[in-house]
Amino acid sequence: MAGCGNAPSSNAKLVQGKVNVVTSFYPLYEFTRNIGGEYVNTINLVPAGVEPHDWSPKSRDIKNMTQAQVFVYQGAGFEGWVKDFLGSLPIDSTLKVVEASKGADLIKTTENKEEFDPHAWLSPLNAVKMANNIKIALISADPAHKDVFEQNYTNYAAKLVDLDARYKKELAQTSKKEIAVSHQAFSYLCRDYGLTQLSIMGLSPDAEPTAQDLKKMNEYIKDHGLKYIFFEELVSDKLAKTLAKDAKVDTMVLNPIEGLTDEQVKAGENYISIMDKNLKNLVIALQ
C-alpha cells in the first residue's frame, strides 16, 4: 500500500529512476507518498519531533531541493524561508514547484487582512485540493505513470472525504461548540464544523502570552463551561498545564499535524489516524 515504509527523515537521499519529491513538512509528505506510491521517492525536510514554524533548511536540504524533480511547500506564509530558496534557483532550473495551498479555501487572519492562516491542511476538504495540486505535479514530472497517480489520488481523496463526513456527523451532535487551545491552528477545523476556538497564543506556537491573554482564556473557560484546554505534542505543554490548573480543568491533545513524533512514526500513525484521534478528543471535550 502507498504511504507505508520509511519514516519521514531529513537524512533521506535522492533515488535514481524515481521521481524525487522534496516536501516542506509532514502532511505534504504524507499526501505525496499516498499519490506517488512506488514511483516516487519522497523526502520530508523537517525531521520527526521538530516544530516546522521556526525550522529552516541546511545546505544538504537545499542540495536535495535543487536536485529533486518536484518541490512541494504549503505556502500561505507558512514557510518563511521559501522565498529566498526559490529566488536562489538558477534560471535554467527544471524543478517543478508546487504551492500546495493554491486554490484551497483560505482564511484571512484577523490581525492582518493581507495574511492568510496557513493551517489549511486541518480541513480534510482543503487537503483534497492540496493533494490534487501534488497529483498534477507528479503527472507532469512522470507522465508515463499518469493512470497510477490518478487512481492513487482518487483512492486517497475518497478517504479524506470520508474523514470529513465523520467530522460533520459527530461534531453536529455535540452540545458545546467552543474549544480552548494553546496555538491558534484550528480556524479551518472550526469553520468547517461550526466550532469556535480561543487560543492562548496566536498563529505561531511559541509566542509568549500576556497576563491579559491568560485572564481572557480563564474567563472564556468559565463562561462556556469548558472542561479541557487542548495542547499539541511538538510544543511544550507547560503553559497549557499551568492554565488548566488555574482554571481547574484538564488538558488533552489536539494535534495540528505539523509533524509526527518519533513514537507516532514507529506506531505507523498518519494524517488520517491522527485526525481521527483529534475527532475523538473533540467529541469528549464538547460533551
Average pLDDT along the chain, 287 residues, taken 10 residues at a time:
43 90 97 98 93 89 96 96 95 97 92 85 98 98 98 98 98 97 92 94 73 90 95 84 91 95 95 98 97
CB-based contact 250:228 (threshold 8 Å): yes
Q: Which three cell numbers stand for residue 114?
A: 493581507
In this prediction, residue 273 carries a pLDDT of: 98
Return d(Cα 94, Cα 141) in angstroms, integer.
Answer: 10
Q: What share of the chain is helix, strand, coil (3-state, %, to 5)?
A: 45, 15, 40
Q: How far is CA 45 from CA 12, 24, 25, 64, 230, in A?
A: 9, 5, 6, 9, 27
In this prediction, residue 145 carries a pLDDT of: 98
In this prediction, residue 3 carries a pLDDT of: 39
Residues 6+ apart with CB under 8 A from 142: 19, 39, 40, 69, 149
SS3 193: helix
The residue assigned the cell 509566542 is 207
In this prediction, residue 221 carries a pLDDT of: 95
CB-based contact 254:167 (threshold 8 Å): no
Cα of first residue to Cα of last residue in the chain, in angstroms, is 37
Question: H/E element holding 285?
Answer: helix 271-285
DSSP 56-122: ---HHHHHHHHHSSEEEE--TT--TTHHHHHHHS-TT---EEEETTTTS--EE-SS-TT-EE--GGG
Q: What is the value of pTM for the model shown? A: 0.92
In this prediction, residue 109 carries a pLDDT of: 85
